[in-house]
Amino acid sequence: GEDVEQSLFLSVREGDSSVINCTYTDSSSTYLYWYKQEPGAGLQLLTYIFSNMDMKQDQRLTVLLNKKDKHLSLRIADTQTGDSAIYFCAETPSGGSYIPTFGRGTSLIVHP
């Protein structure tokens, strides 16, 4: 099956920017997503980008997509302790059931 890869951990200081990276293998991916999972809770959609875009900004969040390198990143500006969570990258194929494939998640730890 198609793969979505992420690093497992990221530690940043409060107020700094965080950059979480993701690579995927499916060249036919249409939508790419970032989900946030807080402790003890389900996943919540944070933002998404369509494959014909290379950047999307939403308040403190910036998503960058390099389709040639199949690389997706999520930048969180002015990271706060409330941003501590697991962030999952996911991609939707262009055919079949369209059900997303998820990465293993990156644990973001924000310390004062």
Partner 1 sequence: NAGVTQTPKFRILKIGQSMTLQCTQDMNHNYMYWYRQDPGMGLKLIYYSVGAGITDKGEVPNGYNVSRSTTEDFPLRLELAAPSQTSVYFCASSLDSPYLSEQYFGPGTRLTVT
**Which residues of this protein are in contact with partner 1, per CB under 8 A?**
1, 4, 8, 30-31, 40-45, 88, 92, 97-105
DSSP 18-35: EEEEEEE--TT--EEEEE
Residue keyed to tokens 């730890």: 109
CB of 30 to partner 1, least distance (A): 7
CB of 57 to partner 1, least distance (A): 19
Please say which residue, 62 or 101, places its beta carbon nearer to partner 1: 101
Q: Look at residues 2, 82, 81, 86 and name the one whose alpha carbon lies nearest to residue 37.
A: 86
Please say which residue, 26 or 102, places its beta carbon nearer to partner 1: 102
